[in-house]
Structure 1
Amino acid sequence: MVDKSEKFSWLVRLGYAARGLVYLLLGYIALETAGKAKDGQAAVFDMVQDVPLGTAMLYVIAIGLVAYSAFKAIDAATNLENHDDDAEGKAKRIGSAASAVAYLSLAWTAWQFATGDQQQSSSSAGDTQERVSTLLSWDIGPVVLGVVGLGFLAAAAMQARKAMDAHFMKHVSGRAPSYVEPLGRAGYAARAVVFLLIGWSLMKGAWFDQSSEVKGLGDAIVSLSDMGVLYTLVAIGLVLFGIFTLIVARYRIIPDIGHGDLRPRA
């Protein structure tokens, strides 16, 4: 009989697969038409919706992303993946918390597309600057925005480090194909560039108190469209990250979740 921990593990793997599909299609859209990439994840879900059984796929993606978000939230709260008790380990747990929030929001967008609420989904994906404008109207708004920007810059540095040292492979089973590592390196490098652009835009928005400076995921990708080779490399990198994550969905080492306190079993 499959226990609850194993069932949750398969849901998390479904979440990795959903995450991989989103990045794969986002990179493909960027390569096909830069303008469409501006809508970010909403463009991905719009594409999925138009394929046969697209609505069912969107429901599955939403469920998987919720499971992935829960996995990251548990890691942040209980140190599920046994990060070191130092500054870097704490930073990874904070990053897990941020990922939990981000992918829960992504799951909600997928769910809206699945239920036919595309108009609200599309507008919610494109109103980043409106939300930032509201935030900047608060007294501490620029400070909050600057802190988020620093978080993205730190995340960009961590993505770049993964691209260089392939530390991510410690969470991947040794049974995974040998080409997983180079796929991951390329994908993390592309994410580093995108996160750097988002973080820098947030910092500029905080410094100059201007929401127009802020870029979401789609805007960050499109901002590279005038840079020729770099844009193409980043788009290809996102496709490769998607393929990497789809493969990792099968080979990712997911700790068992113990009962009671949700800590991993020894």
Structure 2
Amino acid sequence: MVDKSEKFNWLVRVGYFSRAILYSVLGLVALTNASQIAEGTDGIFRAIEDYPAGIAILWIMVVGLAAYAAFRFCSLLFDIENSGSDAKGWGKRVGHAGSGIAHLALAFSAYQFASAAGGSGNGAEEAAAGILSVPFGGAVLGLLGLAFFLAAAHQAKKGISGEFMHRISSRAPDATRWLGAAGYLARGVVYLVIGWSLVQAGFMSGGADEIRTLGDAVASLAGEGFVFTLTALGLMLFGLFSLVLARYRIIPDMGAHGKVPAFRA
């Protein structure tokens, strides 16, 4: 049974707030501190750690990112977003679960910094090396890369169509549509880079060191001129968009008996 109390509602909103911090800092660091963004995702958390009250912010992100991950897992298990149970619906729900896994990993990284344990810096490579060491591990990584290509296309589609607005309150600022469009298109570019790194590692014998995480993917674009600049700006705008979602996103309610809800759109 999913806890659909007001506490759960607020935890999800803290999750969007945490995502806002993450992407805003990612874009800002990419534009202002190339050496730090070269450290990948750890560089983002190290930048937050250096801010005033940085440790407190990191603890908020630990809770928020974990809560957002739980929200996404609920989409897979309980269909709280009313995606449906046909092939397209299950595709969306599995995609939400993938988002949940990614944000849970980010929550763990934030925890490492908040608890003074420090980031590992190579967690993704270690995980990829473990997968490559088992039979058909390369195929698994390659297929995951193809899934990221599909996710990139979906991000671009959302940005162009504006379909994300259906689940945002009409009281949201007028600029929300354009903030979301820029943000989703930028995320599409990042997902393409991550997907290509997985395809290289899995299908082209590129090795685990080819894997790109969120920060690594942005850093790899640093030599691409305006593509890098536009992507970094788009990610900053996605951070602002996530801040709007923290306030105006419509959180779906479960039915009285934990069944599929009637979405409050």
What's the TM-score, normalizing by structure 2? 0.92
1:250 deviates by 0.2
Q: How many correspondences in the alignment?
A: 260
For residues 135-181 of structure 1, give each alpha carbon's deviation from its aligned partner in whole angstroms, at most 9, with x where no partner exists: 21211111110121111111101001011101111111111011000
Answering whether residue 167 of structure 2 is matched by residue 204 of structure 1, we say no
Answering whether residue 242 of structure 2 is matched by residue 248 of structure 1, we say no
**Residue in 1 aligned with 2:189?**
193
1:38 deviates by 2.6
Kept in 2, the 8 Å contact 1:58–1:113? The answer is yes
1:213 to 197, 210, 215: 210
Kept in 2, the 8 Å contact 1:74–1:262? The answer is no
1:132 deviates by 1.8
Distance across 2 between alignment mates of 1:64 and 1:222? 25
Kept in 1, the 8 Å contact 2:76–2:94? The answer is yes
Q: Which amino acid aligns with 1:56?
A: A
Secondary structure of 2:246 counterpart = helix
Answering whether residue 227 of structure 2 is matched by residue 230 of structure 1, we say yes
Kept in 2, the 8 Å contact 1:173–1:251? The answer is yes
1:265 deviates by 6.2
Kept in 1, the 8 Å contact 2:194–2:217? The answer is yes
1:140 to 121, 136, 140: 136
Secondary structure of 1:226 counterpart = coil
Q: Which amino acid aligns with 2:175?
A: Y
Distance across 2 between alignment mates of 1:265 and 1:202? 38
1:232 deviates by 0.3
1:53 deviates by 2.1
Q: Structure 1 stretches of 5 or more lacking a match? A: none
- Evaluate the alpha carbon distance shift between residue 71 and residue 31 of structure 1 in structure 2; reply closer, same or farther with a 3 A threshold: same
Q: Structure 2 stretches of 5 or more lacking a match? A: none
- Evaluate the alpha carbon distance shift between residue 213 and residue 113 of structure 1 in structure 2; reply closer, same or farther with a 3 A threshold: closer
1:259 deviates by 5.3
**Residue in 2 aligned with 1:24?**
24
Kept in 2, the 8 Å contact 1:40–1:217? The answer is yes
- Evaluate the alpha carbon distance shift between residue 44 and residue 259 of structure 1 in structure 2; reply closer, same or farther with a 3 A threshold: farther
**Once superposed, which parts of structure 1, at least 4 consecutive aligned residues long, lie more than 6 Å away?**
none
Distance across 2 between alignment mates of 1:168 and 1:127? 32
Correspondences of 1:100-179 after superposition (within 5 Å): 100-118=100-118, 121=119, 123=120, 125-179=121-175
Q: Which amino acid aligns with 1:170?
A: H
What's the TM-score, normalizing by structure 1? 0.92
Distance across 2 between alignment mates of 1:13 and 1:236? 23
Kept in 2, the 8 Å contact 1:136–1:209? The answer is no
Correspondences of 1:32-111 after superposition (within 5 Å): 32-111=32-111
Distance across 1 between alignment mates of 2:192 and 2:177? 22
Distance across 2 between alignment mates of 1:219 and 1:106? 14
Kept in 2, the 8 Å contact 1:153–1:196? The answer is yes
Kept in 1, the 8 Å contact 2:19–2:65? The answer is yes
Distance across 1 between alignment mates of 2:223 and 2:45? 26
